[in-house]
Amino acid sequence: MNPFVRPDMKAFLDALAAMEGPSIADMTLEEARASYLALHGMADRPARDLAVIEDLTCPGPGGDIPLRLYDPREDRAPGPVITFYHGGGFVIGDLETHHNLCTEIAALMDLPLIAVDYRRAPEAPFPAPILDCEAATRWIASSPDELAREVTGLVTIGDSAGGNATIVVGQLLADAPADVPVVLQVPIFPLASDAMGSASLDQFADGFVLTKAAVEYFDSQYAPDRSDPRAMPILGDHTKAPPTVLVTASLDPIRDSGRDYGAALAQAGVDCIFLEAQGLTHSFTNIRQAVPSAQNDLERVIAAMKFTLANN
């Protein structure tokens, strides 16, 4: 039986298919990174104007880590801060690929957001990106003067590889707490368990934005240790997970990995809202101009985040 695909999603998939471009796995690294940026530039809604958009750095294990601070307000009372980890398989994303989305989340949540530009594979394979995400999150939690904001709690969020980082950072900070706690985590279509061999990876192997070949390419570049919870957070301790808004997409080749994590949270008794965007693909958060209905799904995620923050 053919899966449900929303009309606007189908139109975008048809347009991508008509372009007949090479797959990410067949591009050079530079071409793959440029292609990812171009896709989001073409398909995502424009960035919002915010009172504060400022580039910063913090110390990291491999040198300074670039960050970008977003805030719809110039001045801010003490409160939670959102820490954002971008997607791209730990290989092709950066601050620019997710700039528009970060402005949207900061505006809709009315909270400061700090995006982390961690090191990427293959130049810096596993666990370097995770170590950077952890270091940046601990720095943010310390309310450094550079932020000019007093942080009372962390809201960690990320898409795809960034969703993996969201979960892993939560586990690392549960084991060795930062200055303030993670009060909410929001993994968006995350890689939590090993996607290789999953039913969704085969069902949506081609023609649904993220392909099986791309997943395999990212895996080969990132070179994760599958026995290490920092690579496969499904192996970690879920009993200490923070309140969670977990997001998957029904047409995503790594959908089942996110579902596995939701099941693990439920078994551990963790407060979790599970949202699966029906008829949408991986990366729907970054194609909201080309697929207008995806904006509603992002706003549903935001509503779930606000509800969870208000009730914990």
Would you name the residues annotated as active-site residues?
160, 252, 282
Place of tokens 């398909």: 43
Angle at 98 between CA 92 and CA 102, to 5 degrees: 155
Structure tokens at 232: 């496969």
Of 216, 269, 260, 207, the C-alpha closest to 238 is 269
Q: Is the dihedral of CA 176, 178, 182, 186 positive or negative?
A: negative
Contacts of 4 (CB under 8 A, 6+ apart): 250, 278, 279
The whole-angstrom separation of Cα 25 and Cα 220 is 10
Which residues are 61's β-sheet partners?
Answer: 63
Q: What is the edge-to-edge ordering of all strands in the sheet holding 113-116?
A: 52-58, 65-71, 113-116, 79-85, 151-159, 182-188, 244-249, 272-277
291, two tokens: 């697929």
What is residue 67's DSSP assignment? E
Alpha-carbon distance of 237 to 171, in angstroms, equals 7
Residue of 92, 30, 37, 43 whose CA lies nearest to 217: 92
Cβ atoms 134, 169 nearer than 8 A? yes
What is the length of the chain?
A: 312
Three-state DSSP class for residue 228 = coil
